[in-house]
Each structure stands twice: as C-alpha cells, then as structure tokens.
Chains A and B, each alone.
Chain A
Amino acid sequence: MTETRLRSRKSPYPLWFFLPAAAVYGVLFVVPTVSSLWFSLTRWDLSSAEFIGLENFRQFFSEPFLVKGLVNTLIYALTTSGLKTICGLLLAVLLTGNIFARGFLRTLVFFPVLVSTIGIGITFTVMMHPTKGIINAMLETLAIPGPGWLTNPALALFSVALVDLWKGVGLATLIFIAGLAAISPDYYEAARIDGATRFQQFWRITLPLVRPATITVITLSLIGGLRSFDLIWAMTRGGPGFSSDVIASVIYKQYQAGFYGLSTAGNVILFALIAIIILPLTVWLNRREVEQ
C-alpha cells in the first residue's frame, strides 16, 4: 500500500540527483573515451585531425618496440596479479592465525599501500643499484653475486614487478583477511575431529570458501597491472632500451613526442586488452561460483 501511495505521488528520490555527477563524469570521462575511438584513426595535432584509417594501428603492430610494450603489459599484469594472489593469501592465513604481534604485522604489511608510488619507486631504484645498492651489498655478505636488477634488460620488468608486489600485497592481504573472517570456525573444528591435517584443512576448507575474496583480488590486481604506469615510469622509464615498456608508458612516450593519434591508438589497444581479459574472466569466475 505504501508502495502505491509513494508512486502515485512524486517519488521522494529525485532523479536530478544523478545530474551533477553525470555531467562531470560524462564530459571528462565518457566523451574522451568515446572520441578516442575516432582520434585513434587520425593523424592529430590537437587542433586538426586528418583521417588515416587504421594506419596508427598498423604502425603500432609493425614497430617491434611497441609490440614489446604490449607483451610486457601482459607479462607484468600476470606476474603481479599471480604473486599478489598467492602471497596475499599466505600472509592472510598467517595473520589470521594465533601468532605473536599480529596487529603490528598487519599494519606493517598494509602501510606501503598508502605511500607515494613515486617515493617507493625512487627508493627501490636506489636500493637496487648494481654496485652501490644495499640489496646487492646484503647479498654480497651472503656470498651471492647480486644481479643488475634494473640495468639487466632481461630482469628490469620483473624487478619492478617485485616492487609492485611489495607495495600492493597489503591490499590483497586485507581483502583475504576479510574473506577468511567470514568462514565459520565450525568447519575447521569438524575437520579436526575427523583428523584432517593442517594442509588438508587449508586445501579443502579455506581455499574453496575464500573464493569470493580470491576473485576480487585477481580481478583488481589484473586491472591494476594492465594499467600500471607510475611505478615503471619512476624506476626505469621503460628501459633499459624498451625492455620494461608497457602500454601505459608507450602512450606517455608517444604523447610526449607529439604523436597524438598513435598515443590514442595505444589507449584504444589498452581498452581492448582490458575488456578482452577482464569481461570473460568476470563472467567465468562468477558462473563457477553460482554452480557451487
């Protein structure tokens, strides 16, 4: 009855409440995103755009260093996302267990999430210096020859990925802690009575029941990894050579060089990449959850 009375009058929930947000979001996010589809097909100097069809995309895929950026983006996203998921889950299990200094440890692991990425990037660049850096100095005392973390082209991208893990694992841990807290202790008690080992408890109870949190962590860190720019830019500028370039740094370099059409094409490729990876993944992960 209340429902019909409310509906016959004017709704107390005014639709104009959407308007201010929609205006800002529409003008500054949606319009550029949609128009990027057009500008990626042009030779563009910000004042005039000349239609050149798929030329920008042809150029993007025929330049080895640009394709390298695409491959690196995938490697970087998969590495950081995989490591964050595994390390985050293990840390969360450790930090929900009955251990000494638990609160302090949680704080410690989470704090880097809040710190300036540029500051972290510079700090680790210095610590990873091949001869003067403290990381190699510490390895030397253990008689291990330290590599050129950021100067070796085969290693640079992974070194940045490790720092990304260091900075971001706290958020993954936090999400897993929230997920673990939702699991009823009854399951573990029943398992213990049945004589399950700790490993069996983890494998048969924790892992399946923490699934929603796992999905969140994987999705978030994949999106973050595919889009990542600031840490890579602060640590290597895409170098040495183009060995740690990702799409986002390619977009910035092409923009700096004045190739606006090519830069925008890079953006469209990044949209496509994210859509191709994240949309099916979300659908697939959520469907399997429903089946259970």
Chain B
Amino acid sequence: MRRMRPFTSGAIALAVATVIFVLPFVFIALQAVKSKSEASRLDFTLPQQWLFWDNLAAVFQARDYQLVLAYFNSTLITVVSVTILILLSAMVGYVMQRRKTRWNAVASGALFMGLMMPPAVVPTIGLLQEIGLFKTITGMILIQVAYNLSFSILLYRAFISTIPRDLDEAALIDGAKPWQIFFRVILPLLKPVTVTNIVVQSIAIFNDFTNPLYYLPGKENVTVQLTLYNFQSMYTSQYNLLFMNILLVTVPPLIVFIFFNRQIVAGMTAGAVKG
C-alpha cells in the first residue's frame, strides 16, 4: 500500500497538471491548424482539414508581410540590447563586488530602485522626443538596457563574489592593466552566469509588450508582441490566423527553453533568492 502512494499521487498530480498546463497549449495548436469556419467555433475538436501551411503562409503575408518585419525588429532589439546589457552589467557587477567605495551605496540604491519602481512613462516619452529617440529602434534598445540593468547586475555581482581575488592580483603582478584584468581574465570566467543572463534577458525582452507599446508606436517599428496585439482587434473573425500567430510567438521561447532549461532555472533562482 505505502509503496503505491508515490506513484498514485504522482499520477493524479500528472493528470491534473496536464489538464491545467497542457490543454491551453493544445488548444492554441488546434485552432492554428483549422479552417476559418471551424476555428470560429472555438471548440476542442480535431480539424477536418489540417491547414498548417496555409495558415502559416496567410499569417506571414498579412498586411504586407508585417510579421516578417516584426520578427526582424524584435530580433534586432533583443540581440543588441542583450549584448550591451551583458557588457555594462558585468563591468558594474565586477567593480561593485571588488572595490568598496561610497559609490557602492549609490549604486546599490539605484539597483534597488530599478528592481522595484515602475518607469515613469510619459516623462520618458517626453525625454526621448527631446533627444530624438522616440519611435526609434535605437531608443527602444537603450530603454531595454536601462530597465533590465538592475536584475542583470544582481546576477553578476552574486557570481563574481565566487571568483577569488588572487586571480586579479596575479594578473596585476604580471603587468596587466586594470581593463585588461577585467576583459582578459574575469569576463571569460563569467561565462556560466553570462549564458544565464543572455537566456533570461532575451526571453524577457522578446516577450515585452508594454515598452514597445509606449515607446515604439508606428507600423515600420512593429515588434512581434505588438503584431499579435494588433491582430487581436483586427482578426477576431479569423481565429485560425490569430492562433497561428500566437503559436509562432510561442515557438522562440520554447526553443530557448529546450536548449537552456537548466541555465534558466539556475539563473532565476540565483537572482531571485540572493537578491
């Protein structure tokens, strides 16, 4: 009897979890391959015709290939802002962890504020207009860097404390200049936390909806999440295409998840618990 319990409770948990966590994704996939009239019933039946490729093509062609542009923009924003984020936050995390000055208190305060406070949106729009970066990809990239710095620095600071200072001193004695110690010795050693950071931040930035909604309006700047949002109001009669779009937006995080499952989990918990 007792030996059966782990299996039984596990089987029940598995069944419940499957219903709760898998069904919505099955639902998305089912609607995405149906015809327009079948999808409009919004039910849980198998499609009579599987229209995967037709729907895929239709979604990509919609409104002059807007989704292609959106994928390009989202990818560009994600790649560039994550690259800048990694570099800047590793530099800050390194000096914050190693050198105790009164600037540390300032930096810690700013870090805490960045984790807690929502951005003041309209003043930011005013400022972006002033410096000519409103409605530009460059502006969006810098905003993503500014908003995600705190969390990124937190991850680096925690990790750098595990690297012995002896290494810095050895490099110094060998005649390395301060910037060389960081770029040649420390930065390569940060690889595990850098991978975590890349994965976590790219998912966050790729999935971001609110910031592009405010700072990046306009057709030519559309991002993947904004396309989906616009689709929602434009294509309520074509649920098959709407769900094909949702499916396409879900795929990139799924791929990242399959490859980096362990790093994501480690990074999320490290950043959350130590912070």
Contact = CB atoms under 8 A, between A and B. Distances in A.
B249 to A, nearest CB: 5
B27 A127 contact: yes
A13 B145 CA distance: 23
A133 B91 CA distance: 51
Interface string A160-174: 000000100001001
B92 interface: yes
Contacts of A129: 42
Chain B CB within 10 Å — which of A18, A108, A230, A274 has the most?
A18
A127 to B, nearest CB: 7
Interface magnitude class on chain A: 35 or more
The prevalent SS among residues of A at the interface is helix
Given A27-B127, A118-B228, A134-B42, A15 B101 contact: yes
Interface in B196-242: 203, 207, 209-210, 213-214, 224-225, 228-229, 232, 239, 242
B238 to A, nearest CB: 13
Interface in B86-100: 88-89, 91-92, 94-95, 98-99
Nearest to B9: A99
Contacts of B88: 20-21, 24
A174 B269 contact: yes
A220 B103 CA distance: 26
Given A101-B14, A123-B28, A174-B269, A118 B117 contact: no
A251 interface: yes
Interface stretch (B49-57, B64-72, B175-183): B175-183
A267 interface: yes
B147 A29 contact: yes
B172 interface: yes
A118 B231 CA distance: 11
A255 B121 contact: yes
A13 B99 contact: yes
A179 B142 CA distance: 35
B272 interface: yes
Interface in B8-31: 9-11, 13-14, 17-18, 20-22, 24, 27-28, 31
Interface string A258-274: 00100110011011001
Interface in B127-149: 127, 129, 142-143, 145-147, 149
B256 A20 contact: no
B193 interface: no
B264 interface: yes
B42 A32 contact: no
B192 interface: no
Interface stretch (A60-68, A109-117, A149-157, A183-191): A109-117
B187 to A, nearest CB: 12
B82 interface: no
B172 A12 contact: yes
Contacts of A124: 24
Contacts of B94: 13, 17
B228 A122 contact: yes
A102 interface: yes
Contacts of A114: 203, 207, 253-254, 256-257, 264
Given A39-B123, A46-B126, A109-B17, A119 B250 contact: yes
Interface string A89-116: 0000010011111101101111110111
A134 B28 CA distance: 12
A212 B21 CA distance: 28
Contacts of A33: 113, 117, 119-120, 123
A74 interface: no
Given A14-B178, A15-B103, A32 B124 contact: yes
A118 B273 contact: no
A285 interface: no
B188 interface: no
Given A32-B119, A175-B272, A98 B17 contact: no
Interface of A: 2, 6, 10-15, 17-18, 20-22, 24-25, 27-33, 35-36, 39, 44, 46, 94, 97-102, 104-105, 107-112, 114-120, 122-124, 126-127, 129, 132-134, 137, 166, 171, 174-175, 177-179, 212-213, 216, 220, 223, 227, 229-230, 234, 248, 251-252, 255, 260, 263-264, 267-268, 270-271, 274-275, 278
Given A119-B246, A127-B24, 8 more contacts: A12-B181, A18-B107, A24-B145, A175-B272, A227-B118, A255-B121, A260-B122, A264-B123
12 contacts: A15-B95, A35-B120, A46-B126, A115-B207, A118-B209, A119-B228, A123-B28, A123-B246, A126-B31, A137-B44, A171-B272, A175-B272
Ranked 3 nearest A-B pairs via Cβ: A100-B10, A99-B10, A36-B120
